[in-house]
Amino acid sequence: DQQVKQNSPSLSVQEGRISILNCDYTNSMFDYFLWYKKYPAEGPTFLISISSIKDKNEDGRFTVFLNKSAKHLSLHIVPSQPGDSAVYFCAASGRLDYKLSFGAGTTVTVRA
């Protein structure tokens, strides 16, 4: 039973435009959310996170938005660059958990 869902397996965007990645979760006990980025033949690397006490967190070109009532978060990348082409995983954890629950990932391709 997947508690974190990324319904778009892929996204193609032109260089310089905005990339918007979406993530939905079902567990209302989740209170911390993260995005990881993964290149081929490498492990995932941490990108950005947000606590449930916030609705937005920004780090350079990356912004994560959290809508708790809709159990939805999104990652915005502005402007998109060729080096952003990767798989992006959404992950979540609850206060009483000792683990991260991951989505299946969204493959982003940035076109020159």
Partner 1 sequence: DTAVSQTPKYLVTQMGNDKSIKCEQNLGHDTMYWYKQDSKKFLKIMFSYNNKELIINETVPNRFSPKSPDKAHLNLHINSLELGDSAVYFCASSQGGYRPSYEQYFGPGTRLTVT
When the beta carbons of 49 and 109 are compared against partner 1, the nearer one is 49
Question: Which residue lies nearer to partner 1 by CB, 14 or 26?
Answer: 26
By the rule CB under 8 A, 99 interacts with partner 1: yes
Burial degree of 22 (CB within 10 A; 0-12, 13-18, 19+): middle
Q: Which residues between 74 and 93 bind partner 1 (CB under 8 A)?
A: 87, 89, 91-93
- Tokens representing 25 are 């979760």
Number of Cβ within a 10 Å radius of residue 104: 13
Q: Residue from 13, 23, 34, 108 that binds partner 1 (CB under 8 A)? A: 34
Q: How far is the CB of 57 from partner 1 (least distance, A)?
A: 12
Q: Does 1 bind partner 1 (CB under 8 A)?
A: no
From 6, 41, 19, select the one nearest 110 (Cα to Cα). 19
Quote the CA–CA distance of 61 and 80 in Å, as a whole number. 8
Q: Is 82 helix (H, G, I), strand (E, B) or coil?
A: helix
The residues of the shown chain that bind partner 1, judged by CB under 8 A, are: 2, 32, 34, 36, 41-46, 49, 51, 87, 89, 91-93, 97-100, 102-105
